[in-house]
Structure 1
Amino acid sequence: MADELVFYSNPMSRRRIARWMLEEVGAPYRVEWLTFEGSIKSPDYLAVNPMGKVPAIRHDRTVITEAAAICAYMADAFPEAGLAPPTNQRGDYYRWLFFAAGPLEMAVSVKAFGLEVPKERERSIGSGSYESVMDTLSYAVTRHPYITGDRFTATDVYVGSHISWGLQFGTLEARPEFTAYWDRLKDRPAYLKAKALDDEEMHRQLAAAKG
C-alpha cells in the first residue's frame, strides 16, 4: 500500500512516545506487535532495526527508529497536524528535543543505575551532572506554557513523555515546575487515546501469558 504507515511496538516499552505522536498526527496506521522473547529479534524485524528495539515506524519505504527521530519525522511528514514550528523558528524545538534525547536520558540512566560521575570528570560526559540537567530541564519548561512558546509541538510529546515517566517512577526530582508542565499535557485527547490503546494491548498480552 502506497504511503502505508506501520508502527512496530511492544506495549511494555518506550513505544508510548511514538504512539502518542501517531495519535497527535491523526494519520491512519497499522501496528505490528513484537515480543521481547521472539519476534523483536527475528530477521524480519532486525532488517527494520538492527538493534532489535522498539519503537520504530515504516512510512512507505522510509524507516525511522529512535523516539525523538520519530517525533521529528512525523511532524514534518504530516505538516497539516501543526506539530512543528516554521523552519526559521525551530531553535527551541530542536534544542530541547535533542537535549531530552541526549543529556536528560543519559543523566537519568546513570542515576538509575546507581552510578556517579566524579565531579572532576563532569566535563567529559555529555550529560554533565544530574543536578545541572535537572536545572536545565526546569528552565526549559518554565519559560513558556509549551517548550517553544504558546504552541504545543512534537517536542512537547517527547519532553512531556520523559517527565511523565520520570515523575511516575521517581527518576526525576518531583519539582513543582515539572508537575505543572505535565499537568498542561496529560489531558490531551491524543495522549489519552494512545495510553488507552497501549494499556489495552498490555493487559491482553499479560492475560495471554497467564494462560
Structure 2
Amino acid sequence: MADELVFYTNPMSRGRIARWMLEETGVPYHTEIMTFGGTMKAPDYLAVNPMGKVPTIRHGETIVTECAAICAYLADTFPEKELAPKPHERGSYYRWMFFAAGPLEAAATNRALGFVTPAEKSRMAGYGSFGDVMDTLEKAVSTSPYIAGDRFTAADVYVGSHIGWGLGFGTFEKRQAFADYVARVTNREGYRRATALDDELMQQMQ
C-alpha cells in the first residue's frame, strides 16, 4: 500500500517512545523488529536509516528517524487525533520538544557517562549545566498540567518518556514535580498498550 506505515524498532531502545506515539494515533502499522549489531547494521536497513539505529518509521515513500521528529510527524500527519496544538499555539509545544531533544538529552547522557562540564566552560555546552537543565525542566512541568498547556500532545510523549527513563535509570534528579508529571502523562490507554506490546516482545526475545 502506498501509505503503509512501517515501524522499525527494538523493545529495548528509544523505539518505545515512537511506539507510544503510534499507539496514541491509533492508526494501523506494521512492526519490524531489528537486532543490535545484526539487522540494524545490514545493508537493507542502512538504506533506510544510515545510522543503523532505531526507531525509524516509513510511511509510504517518507522516512522519518529521530524520536522527536517521529512524534511531530505523526501528530501533523494525523491531525484528527489532535496530538498537536493548532499552528498558532505551538510555541511551547516546539520549545519543550526540542529542549528535550537537545539540552535535556545531552545533559542526561553526559551525566550518565560521568562527564561534568567545568563551570568555567559551561557556556560552551548548549545546556549550560545539568542543574540548569533540571531546574528549567521542573518549572516547565509545574506551570501547567501538560508540557504545552492544558491538553496532552505529542510533546508529552517525548518529554514524558525522557523524564520517566531518567527517573528510572537514575540519570535525573528525583524531584516530586517530575514524578507527578510522569504519572499524569502515562495514565493513558495509548501508553498502556504500547508498554504491553514492547514488554511482550522483550519476553519473546529472551
Structure 2 distance, partners of 1:30, 1:154, is 20
Partner amino acid for 2:55? P
- Which residue number in structure 1 is paired with residue 123 of structure 2? 123
- Which residue number in structure 2 is paired with residue 108 of structure 1? 108
Structure 1 distance, partners of 2:37, 2:105, is 25
Counterpart of 2:108 in 1: which secondary structure?
Answer: helix
Structure 2 distance, partners of 1:49, 1:2, is 19
1:189-200 equivalences in 2 (<5 Å): 189-200=189-200
Report Cα offsets for 1:56-82 as digits up to 9, x if no partner: 000000000000000000000000110
- Which residue number in structure 2 is paired with residue 209 of structure 1? none
- Which residue number in structure 2 is paired with residue 92 of structure 1? 92
Counterpart of 1:152 in 2: which secondary structure?
Answer: coil
Partner amino acid for 2:157? V
Structure 2 distance, partners of 1:85, 1:185, is 16
CA shift at 1:3, angstroms? Answer: 0.5
Report Cα offsets for 1:129-177 as digits up to 9, x if no partner: 0000000100110110001111000000000000110111111111010
TM-score by length of 1: 0.96
TM-score by length of 2: 0.99
1:5-44 equivalences in 2 (<5 Å): 5-44=5-44
1:26-65 equivalences in 2 (<5 Å): 26-65=26-65
Unaligned runs of 5+ in 1: 207-211
CA shift at 1:186, angstroms? Answer: 2.0
1:99-178 equivalences in 2 (<5 Å): 99-178=99-178
Unaligned runs of 5+ in 2: none
Runs of 4+ in 1 over 2 A off after TM superposition: none
Structure 2 distance, partners of 1:88, 1:24, is 23
Structure 1 distance, partners of 2:183, 2:27, is 26
Partner amino acid for 1:98? F
Partner amino acid for 1:205? M
Structure 2 distance, partners of 1:48, 1:197, is 24
CA shift at 1:84, angstroms? Answer: 0.4
Partner amino acid for 1:15? G
Q: Aligned pairs, how many?
A: 206
CA shift at 1:11, angstroms? Answer: 1.1
CA shift at 1:187, angstroms? Answer: 2.0
